[in-house]
Amino acid sequence: MTLAITGATGFVGQRVLALAGAPIRALARRDQPEIPGVTWIRGDLADTTALARLCDGASAVIHIAGIVSAPDRAAFDAGNVAGAAAVLDAARSAGVRRFVHVSSLSAREPQLSMYGASKAAAEALVSASDCDWVIVRPPGVYGPADAEMLDIYKLATRRLYIAPPGRISLIHVDDLARALLALAGGGPSLTSLEIDDGAPAGHSHPDFARAIGTGLGRRVQVIPLPLPMLHLAARIGLSAKLTPDRAAYIAHPDWVARGGNAALAGLWAPEIDLARGVADTIAGYRARGWL
């Protein structure tokens, strides 16, 4: 089985490459170092020739590539909607039936953010296709090479955690990568799956803070962040990562995954709980000199 993968140089994609037991064709904008079993295809999601080479002879496509931050809806759509459409077209032309599409839990509430709306629009394209498709909606993905959550851990080294309201689901990147690889070989189809680390009702932000504090070996003080302050911080640009679009997403009280783990029973189950995952993440950050 040969797998075609987009987004292979990103945080999730790199772990898919590392854990794959099958030959891989992987799309990349720039030349990459050689990896046994991986054939790099130079190009991007707008390069139809590269996408045709990527999909030729593949038994399944795992579409991971996308953008999480952009200045406007048009930019989100260019990366997430047009990109998905191009990969779908290439898969269809190459006769690839199995299509594993990595979306986001944000697509469940597309009215909240431009990012979520673009992911929902991409899902609509996938679900309307004639592929044997499955959509995976990960919650917060974390792990040793994750730059998105690094600031949370850096603040925790100063014994602080800023906590918005609500509950969240989380998943370690290795568990997500294993799920994507399992689904590339079969399992549920024509459905969307919200998967997580197996915590029945997700995690509160204080839960997450305590896990990080335990991993760091120090007590972390949780400071509640009222919603008006969250939106104000976004408007004044307190953090480059906290855009008004992202603030609207963060403010939603329920980002707990629903039902996907049960649907994958017998094919996949999460192996890494929060305590182990956070410890692994901290060790990875320290090894890279990030903490």
What are the structural domain ranges in the chain? 3-287
Whole-model pTM: value is 0.95
Say which residues have a Cβ less than 8 Å from residue 20's Cβ, sequence separation at least 6. 3, 37, 181
pLDDT tens string 211-227: 999 999 999 999 987 77
In this prediction, residue 51 carries a pLDDT of 98
CA distance 148 to 104: 15
Q: Is the pLDDT of residue 249 over 90?
A: no
Given the DSSP bridges, would you call strands 170-172 and 140-142 parallel, antiparallel or unpaired? Answer: parallel
Q: Is the pLDDT of residue 235 over 80?
A: no
pLDDT tens string 162-188: 888 899 999 999 999 999 999 999 999
In this prediction, residue 224 carries a pLDDT of 87
Asked if residues 66 and 9 have their Cβ atoms less than 8 Å apart, the reply is no
pLDDT tens string 67-78: 998 889 999 999
Superfamily of domain 3-287: NAD(P)-binding Rossmann-like Domain (3.40.50.720)
pLDDT band per the 50, 70, 90 thresholds, residue 285: very high
